[in-house]
Chains A and B, each alone.
Chain A
Amino acid sequence: MIWDLFAAPFAEFGFMRRALLGCVTIAVGATPVGVFLMLRRMSLTGDAMAHAILPGAAVGFLVSGLSLGAMTIGGLIAGMAVALASGFVTRVTALREDASLAAFYLISLALGVLIVSTRGSNVDLMHVLFGTVLALDNAALILLCSIASISVLTLAVIFRPLVLECADPQFLRSVSGLSAITHFTFLMLVVLNLVAGFHALGTLMAVGIMILPAAAARFWSASIGGLLVIAVLVAILSSVIGLLLSYHYSLPSGPAIILVAGIAYGVSVVLGPVGGLIAQALPRAHLES
């Protein structure tokens, strides 16, 4: 019974195992990045980047057809260009990060739509560019795993300056020259994870798995380590439950996974001990808060 419900789908079908591996990989790679995005109040960056990479991926597609490598590299270049340009404007001018990012992603999106439209064929490029979690082939899995590894290693290296940058950017800037390097390395990680996610899993999955578990974890822990562990756990559990729901109740997989993560977020908002609704409503000792 329990076997049928939870294990049989994965034991019987290779595509379910691939989907699970893909989800776990993206959970390990992208969710910690999402936690830092949340801490830096940049949670909407993921959505903006989804649009920003379009021209690069489109150029990759036009140059060499439906090739994983070309589209990924194109997307990376476009995403990095937008991230660097907006980061540069943020650091040297008075414009804040959100506004400069918005400006550059809109420019990039317009360029992407232009490139897609001037192409004669009318196959919907967005459908071609963005994959589904059920169709992960070896190339896509290898890409996901490599990017998750790079992402985790890089985060480990820049962990301390990154935490400082989140907590007190002025202080970091005053004591060390690492601030700018940390910032741009982090933006690179965001782009890398999103591009891999878009191609392998689709826009919704890539952004959803990055942001929702981080937002849910926020209600369970106040420490960075706790946030990271809980967010990754939430992401992996949502993936497993979402895939099983998709299997047993024939729901589309991507939305099912993200909705489960959404439910986890909703439950956390109400029940979470750190600033959740119930925790806030309960009377507490005067000095504790």
Chain B
Amino acid sequence: MTKRRTLLKSAAAFAALSMAFPATAQTDAPLSVVASFSILGDMVEQIGGDNVSVTTLVGPDGDAHVYQPTPADARSVSDADVLFVNGLEFEGWLERLAEAASFDGTLVVATTGVEAIAFDDDHDDHDDHGEEHAEGEDHDHEEHAEGEDHDHEEHAEGEDHDHDHEEHAEGEDHDHGEEHAEADGHDDHGEEHAGDDHGHNHGAFDPHAWQSLENAVIYVDNITAALAKADPSNAGTFYQNRAAYVAEIEALGDEVRALMAALPEDRRTIVTSHDAFGYFAEEYDLTFEAPQGLSTESEPSAADVAEMITQIREEGIAAVFVESITDNRLLEQIASETGAAIGGTLYSDALSNDNGPASTYLDMMRHNANTLAGALGS
């Protein structure tokens, strides 16, 4: 369905363009771009259509936290015109890869402009301004999509790896207006982070920003702007694709919001194997708990597991959810000890392969929401 629509659209756009610039449209090779992981790759494909050829480094069902790049990856990166990464230190290995492969194209950080959730932050103090944010957002993005001179692009180009998070913090103020920065103290996070060392896989922020459909619009805008800049002759198509894709995202957003709003008050705590759903939780006012913490690499302590079991027992949590990319033995053990059911598989950091239930980003979000609603709804 989605694919057919995109195809039609690109076909239409192609026809329009070949009339406008017959020469360039026929001779141009598609723009060669690389996306770091499958979800980002899918988004780039949706916007780029036939005008870009997308290579995804960490494929379906792969775990980008602990990925080992291959020489083929290095070659794709060095050949690429544009390299899309999630940022927020999600792909710690990618900076080294880009350097080793002497990548000289444009690096685009897809989370630029996303209001990042701090690592150890309490979900509660985000709840109220989440609403404000949602309202202000459309406005910003419309501007962004049309506007020529947005700071995101400058970011993407002048990228100096060591400092991009500082810039990020500044960019954030700029985007969302002053009252925001004052209200939630994100300034502090920015500074903390700037002083942080970058050797580890996760920084001070939760990198799984795509788990919010609102953020997906920011991703899409960053992608669209970068593609339009790299290939101005097809910019029209990109913006057309963007408009259609954003409409789909927003429609799904309403659908998911309705599903999640219908969950009963006492069944809004969800247990998964690693903490990938912070943004989803904030968006829909749910609580996610995970024994493994934010990265798939960390090892749990007995205290974490005991706390989780106690919580499941006390709050009467009915179901726990396994994830496609992680080792679920611990969670299955917790489930069997507490009598909670395994509610289904959630896709957090990677899409499924083509036959799976989550082969595109939108399918993934829909699948997750339906799985949650199915297991927790009354």
Contact = CB atoms under 8 A, between A and B. Distances in A.
B68 to A, nearest CB: 7
A122 B68 contact: yes
A107 B71 CA distance: 22
Contacts of B309: 13, 15
Interface in A105-120: 117, 120
A96 interface: no
Interface in B62-78: 62-63, 66-68, 70
A246 B302 contact: yes
Interface stretch (B83-91, B247-255, B293-301): B293-301
Given A134-B330, A134-B333, A250 B301 contact: yes
Contacts of A132: 299-300, 329-330
Contact of A252 (B301, B306, B325, B334): B301
Contacts of B327: 127-128, 135
B1 interface: no
Nearest to B300: A134
Contact of A250 (B70, B296, B303): B303
The bracket for how many chain B residues form the interface is 20 to 34
B333 A122 contact: no
Interface in B286-345: 296-306, 309, 325, 327, 329-330, 332-334, 336-337
A27 to B, nearest CB: 18
Given A15-B334, A131-B329, A137-B332, A120 B59 contact: yes
A248 B63 CA distance: 31
A79 interface: no
A156 to B, nearest CB: 33
Given A117-B70, A251-B301, A15 B62 contact: no
Contacts of B67: 122, 124
Residue picked from B303, B309, B334, most chain A C-beta under 10 Å: B303
A253 B329 contact: no
B270 to A, nearest CB: 20
B300 A248 contact: no
A128 B62 CA distance: 12
Contacts of A184: none
Contact of A122 (B58, B304, B332): B58
Contacts, number: 93
B173 interface: no
Contacts of A255: 299
A193 B251 CA distance: 56
A60 to B, nearest CB: 16
A76 B329 CA distance: 22
A249 interface: yes
A136 B332 CA distance: 10
A243 B333 contact: no
A19 B300 CA distance: 13
A9 B302 contact: yes
Given A122-B58, A128-B327, A134-B330, A15 B337 contact: yes
A248 B303 contact: yes
A223 interface: no
Contacts of A134: 300, 302, 305, 330, 333
The bracket for how many chain A residues form the interface is 20 to 34
Given A13-B337, A123-B63, A124-B63, A252 B299 contact: yes
Interface string B37-65: 00000000000000000000011011100
Nearest to A133: B302
Contact of B302 (A16, A117, A137): A16
Contacts of A14: 337
B66 A137 contact: no
Contacts of B306: 9, 12-13, 15-16, 247
A122 to B, nearest CB: 4
Contacts of B337: 13-15
Interface in A211-261: 243, 246-256
Contact of A246 (B59, B301, B333): B301
Contacts of A249: 301, 303
A121 interface: yes
B325 A123 contact: yes
Contacts of A252: 298-301
Residue picked from B62, B299, B302, most chain A C-beta under 10 Å: B302
A127 B304 CA distance: 19
Nearest to B303: A250
A136 B333 contact: yes
A241 B191 CA distance: 40
A121 B337 CA distance: 31
A137 B333 contact: yes
B290 to A, nearest CB: 14
Contacts of B68: 117, 122, 124
Contact of B305 (A15, A120, A121, A131): A15
B301 A124 contact: no
A265 B369 CA distance: 52
Given A13-B306, A123-B62, A132-B330, 14 more contacts: A15-B302, A15-B334, A121-B61, A122-B58, A122-B67, A122-B68, A124-B296, A127-B66, A132-B299, A135-B332, A249-B301, A250-B304, A253-B299, A253-B301
20 contacts: A12-B306, A13-B306, A13-B337, A15-B306, A16-B302, A120-B59, A121-B59, A122-B63, A123-B61, A124-B67, A127-B66, A132-B299, A134-B333, A136-B333, A137-B332, A137-B333, A137-B336, A246-B303, A252-B300, A253-B300
Q: Which 5 residue pairs spanning A and B have beta carbons closest together?
A: A250-B303, A122-B62, A135-B330, A246-B302, A252-B299
